[in-house]
Structure 1
Amino acid sequence: MTTTATHLRTIATLWTDLRDALATPTTPAGFGIGLRGYLATLEEHDLEEARALRALERDPAQIGQRPVPINLHIHDTLHAVEAALIDTADRIARDNQRTPVQPLRPHSGFYATAKEARIAAEDRARRARLAAADAIHPQRWRFTGRRTGPYAALWLCARVHGITWPGRALTEQQHQHVASVAAGALLRMETALDLADQRRELTAQHPCQCGGTIEVYGGAGAAPVARCKGCGALWTERGIIASRGAVAAA
């Protein structure tokens, strides 16, 4: 429970950073912007080759390619994480949240005494106050209006902590589902912001000179490093620091 709540609070905290990164077009320059940037550089190189081939088939009168005004990777991350959090909150609210208290209907008959009339009026007034307060309960999840990723994360965090709300406590299955969604969402956000520790093998299009597979690892504040799994050659931001000859001699 504590881990899930921590994940949800971290998601809400990182949301501003992710929104700020949205306005930055993806213009990777290599190792200097982290592991994701380096991998994106290689992918961009492959795309450039594909564009060159495609350009041979294009009509010169067509409009040329324009730079993307936003970071599409960040945009996709924001959209996916927000959709997952809101969908999770929607499901819990549909299953656990009770319907709002309704005011009493107006009395259409007559009262035998003035005392009965007064008591009935007081009951209707009390019920009206309860209905009004319940309708605006701060912990009530709403299916319209304020439906954002960070708000959903904090709302789910309150449900995990068992804070009083107009609904039933989460079941063990619901706790597990929220935990899974929170962990996945946070990992995706940290990966997009290059905060998560990552390790990936490059595709066959980027082999080492020896023909071996190159593995890139870094993130979580560490400078990216690439290493050939065949000959052991090692690269960093400053270039190769262990050549095949040096590895062989060792």
Structure 2
Amino acid sequence: MTTTATHLRTCALHWADLHEAAGTPAQLGAFGLGLRGYLARLDQADRDEYGYDRAHAAHLRSLERDPIQIGERPVPVRLHILDTMRMVEAALVACADDIAHAAQRVPIAGPTARRTAVAPYRSQREADIAAADRARRTQLAHADLVDPRRWRYTGRRTASHAALWLLARIERAPGPCRRITEQEEQRIGNVAAGAAARVERALDIAAQQRTLSTPCACGGAIDVHGGEGRTPVAHCTGCGKIWAESGVIAA
């Protein structure tokens, strides 16, 4: 069974791949893009991708007709990839916010200044010891405040950073946090599983299987197998017929 840690690593390791894929044109042969007709009915995500590509193509054509558009044309952006990145990042960052709010301790408070006019030191040695103690406590407070293991609500709030921070909580890594509860771990697991599934679908790096709503002519159900960069193949569970994008390859 795939673990929460594996899901979080998938999001962190493939975040750069999503950035790269967002600026490249769609490739034929990926799961959900082949087997014209059949695969177009797999799920709503495929229909959304087609709608995005068609709308974006129309937008590019309108720019080409505009005489004020000169110079190098930008690389087409794959909007469904950008949508995946936005959803994954929002889910992971929100999860990290919630876990940090509950499990992360507040920074250590720095020392307060002593009012020597009210409570003077009895000797220079006592004053020196107090000054050294304040300096040590100030240093500890500052180190705790800037601890890189601390989750922050401003600044570096990317999906990959949130995934790695949540991974550290799952693996009980040391840091300014208490041990998370079973409920908190389950929350992280649910978010991580959904985020990893979206990343894998967007990059076509996971094996997938779908059953088409349209049955075979024999009445049997048609299962489609693909993903992991492979050309999709459809198989009838009734008569055993097999289709590829080029047509029937076995009957």
Do the structures match in fold with TM over 0.5?
A: yes
Superposition TM-score, scaled by structure 2 size: 0.76
Residue 37 (1) aligns with residue 33 (2): yes
- Whole-Å Cα distance in 2 between the matches of residues 171 and 5 of structure 1? 16
Partners of 1:234 and 1:167 lie apart in 2 by: 54
2:162 pairs with 1:166: no
Rate the CA distance shift 1:6–1:208 in 2: closer, same or farther, 3 A.
closer
In the TM superposition, what are the counterparts of 1:100-139 in structure 2 within 5 Å? 100-109=107-116, 110-139=120-149
Percent of residue pairs identical: 50
Q: Which runs of structure 2 are paired with 1:220-235 in the superposition (5 Å)?
A: 220-228=228-236, 233-235=241-243
Report the equivalent of 2:164.
154
Instruction: List gaps (5 residues or longer) in structure 1.
Output: 52-63
One-letter amino acid matched to 1:5: A
Instruction: Tell me the TM-score normalized by structure 1.
Output: 0.76
Structure 2: 5+ residue stretches without partners = 41-46, 61-74
The CA distance in 2 between the partners of 1:3 and 1:158, in whole Å, is: 14
Aligned-pair CA distance for 1:209: 6.4
- Quote how far apart the aligned CAs of 1:229 are: 6.0
**What pairs up with 1:135-214 in 2 under 5 angstroms?**
135-202=145-212, 214=222
Q: Once structures 1 and 2 are overlaid, which stretch shifts more, 115-124 or 34-43?
A: 34-43
Give the SS at the match of 1:36: coil
C-alpha separation in 1, matches of 2:243 and 2:2 = 39
CA distance in 1, matches of 2:18, 2:185: 26
Counterpart of 2:176 in structure 1: which amino acid? P
The letter for the 1-side match of 2:88 is V
For 2:181 and 2:238, the matched residues in 1 are separated by: 50
One-letter code aligned to 1:74: I
Q: What are the Cα deviations for residues 106-148 of structure 1, in whole angstroms up to 9, with x where unaligned?
A: 1123223323322221221111110111111121111111111
Are 1:76 and 2:120 an aligned pair? no
Partner residue of 2:69?
Answer: none
Question: What amino acid does structure 2 have at the position aligned with 1:237?
Answer: E
* SS state at 1:35 partner: coil
Partner of 2:59: 66
User: Which residue does 1:241 correspond to in 2?
Assistant: 249
Aligned residues: 222
CA 1:3 to 1:231, structure 2 compared with 1: closer, same or farther past 3 Å? closer
Q: Is the 8 A contact 2:35 2:245 kept in 1?
A: no
